[in-house]
Structure 1
Amino acid sequence: MTVHHPQTPQFFLTSPSPCPYLPGQAERKVFTHLVGERAPALLDLLSQGGFRRSQNIAYRPACERCRACISVRILVDEFVPGKSTRRILARNRDLVGRMATPSPTSEQYSLFRRYIDHRHAFGGMAEMSVLDYAMMVEDSQVDTRVIEYRRKGPDSAFTAQSDGDLVAVALSDVMADGMSMVYSFFDPEQDQRSLGTHMILDHIERTRKLGLSYLYLGYWVEGSKKMQYKIRFKPQEHLTPRGWERYDG
């Protein structure tokens, strides 16, 4: 008879469902719960194996005939912005990012709703209510932060009280070896800012300042236009059957 220690994580497998990235493919996921005081250490360990977090669930793809999802992390100490990324940083000089404990607001949800309706109207998050959004932000037993990006006000260098309109939000975890971008969204009417790229660049610098080595971006799916942006940030490492391997291609 197998005896499970009460603190040993148990893993479960989802039923097949349509893949959101590759047409005609079916996806399955293996997952476990992140609960209790051991949740941060468990997330650190599982992230090394390519798991991601969603609320109090850690999951990774476990598809039967497809291995297209590849875990990606940026080597922040070696990253140097190129010409295009420097232009994006310059374009967003009027923004300030504030990192705080995860606390959902109606302003965040309003921006989230505009982003989803414009970019992912038929996706899995299209029906999320304000309560669902609050759970996504708050339901975490690891070190989670919310970073709000706003237009600078006249006194933004001294106080957050004068910051302007909210234009982007990132929900991110701080782990033992790096930061992990769990979810981010932005004003869909400000495409010229390249806000998604700007948030990644800002997270690279935040991770570096925390003295950590990696920024985890989740999964890159070759052949999916939605995921193509993730391999622009080099050098980075990809999780392969042999472990994490450097990717400069």
Structure 2
Amino acid sequence: MTEHLPARLGLSQQFDCSYLADRQEQLLVILDHSCYTPSKFEALLALGFRRSGDQIYRPHCPACSACKSVRVLAKAFLPTKSQKRKLNKAKNTFTVKYSDQQHPEYFPLYSKYITERHQDGSMFPPEQNQFNSFIFCHWLPITFIELWDQEKLVAVAVTDCMHNAVSAIYTFFDPDYEHYSVGTIMILEQLKFAKQYDKEFVYLGYQIDECAKMRYKTQFLPAQNRVADQWLAI
């Protein structure tokens, strides 16, 4: 497949990789403002790009190609027996809600999640401004898929919505509920959302085979990896 990249691109400086301790990371950044629309972004997702806040990027590391985009074929997806058990367990405890607006409960939940689970990451310590600049976007509609335990917010899956696809941006949850496999539940809810609105793909970001905490993305099938500019079945 021949790529059709915008004319205006930027290349970041190299910095320490967030996932592989012995690697350096570099990003290719879209500078063409005409690309910052839902339809153009959907085309760029198919070329392996993602967004962080208002910015569209993808890894462009000179000595490493470990990051591979993953997308699930939403219409064909069927949960495994294990995933069905998790859904059934959650169904008796939680309520799922959709919102197109952020709520005051989001940042305290995010702060607890980062503080208890990701103190070794770049988002610690959690800050409101950093949270806003990372999660929210001015040019794209976002759906917040929420998991509630009665009146208590348990999890939020930040989900970008395009014509034919959704993109899973970030999920944060209350670590006290980890035994419910909340991370898995929220991906399953994003897939359910995609089916409900007749979307073809759910983009899950980047898979890194050498990073154990990223391997969960291949548990949702059928799915594809983007390898050497082609989407190949996992």
Q: Please say whether Structure 1 and Structure 2 have the same fold, judged by a TM-score greater than 0.5.
A: yes
Unaligned runs of 5+ in 2: 1-5
Distance in 2 of aligned mates of 1:131 and 1:61: 24
Question: Does the aligned pair in 2 maintain the 1:34–1:43 contact within 8 Å?
Answer: no
Distance in 1 of aligned mates of 2:214 and 2:172: 15
Aligned match of 2:192: 205
Aligned match of 1:189: 176
Distance in 2 of aligned mates of 1:177 and 1:214: 7
Aligned match of 2:121: 123
Pair 1:227 & 2:214 matched: yes
Amino acid across the alignment from 1:97: V
Distance in 2 of aligned mates of 1:36 and 1:114: 37
Cα deviation for residue 181 of structure 1 reads: 0.6
The structure-2 alpha-carbon separation of the partners of 1:144 and 1:220, relative to structure 1 and needing over 3 Å to count, comes to same
| Percent of residue pairs bearing the same amino acid type | 30
SS at structure 2 position matched to 1:102:
coil
Cα deviation for residue 37 of structure 1 reads: 8.7
Deviations 1:95-116 (A, max 9, x none): 12211113242x2111101100
Deviations 1:114-158 (A, max 9, x none): 100111112111133123323334333112121221024xxxxxx
Normalising to structure 1: TM-score of the pair?
Answer: 0.86
Q: Of 154, 164, 180, which residue of structure 1 is paired with 2:167?
A: 180
Question: Does the aligned pair in 1 maintain the 2:159–2:170 contact within 8 Å?
Answer: yes
Q: How does 1:48-63 map to 2 (within 5 A)?
A: 48-63=46-61
Cα deviation for residue 53 of structure 1 reads: 0.7
Distance in 2 of aligned mates of 1:73 and 1:85: 18
Cα deviation for residue 234 of structure 1 reads: 1.1
Question: Does the aligned pair in 1 maintain the 2:38–2:139 contact within 8 Å?
Answer: yes
Distance in 1 of aligned mates of 2:178 and 2:30: 37
Aligned match of 2:225: 238
Amino acid across the alignment from 2:76: E
Normalising to structure 2: TM-score of the pair?
Answer: 0.91
The structure-2 alpha-carbon separation of the partners of 1:176 and 1:33, relative to structure 1 and needing over 3 Å to count, comes to farther
Q: CA RMSD in A?
A: 1.8
Amino acid across the alignment from 2:217: K
Aligned match of 1:5: none
SS at structure 1 position matched to 2:176:
coil
Distance in 2 of aligned mates of 1:190 and 1:219: 25
Question: Does the aligned pair in 2 maintain the 1:181–1:217 contact within 8 Å?
Answer: yes
Cα deviation for residue 206 of structure 1 reads: 0.6
The structure-2 alpha-carbon separation of the partners of 1:48 and 1:104, relative to structure 1 and needing over 3 Å to count, comes to same
Q: Of 104, 112, 115, which residue of structure 2 is paired with 1:114?
A: 112
Deviations 1:32-65 (A, max 9, x none): 2585795212211110100001111011000001
Question: Does the aligned pair in 1 maintain the 2:98–2:145 contact within 8 Å?
Answer: yes
Unaligned runs of 5+ in 1: 1-7, 153-163
Distance in 2 of aligned mates of 1:24 and 1:16: 13
What number of residue pairs does the alignment pair up? 228
Amino acid across the alignment from 1:215: V
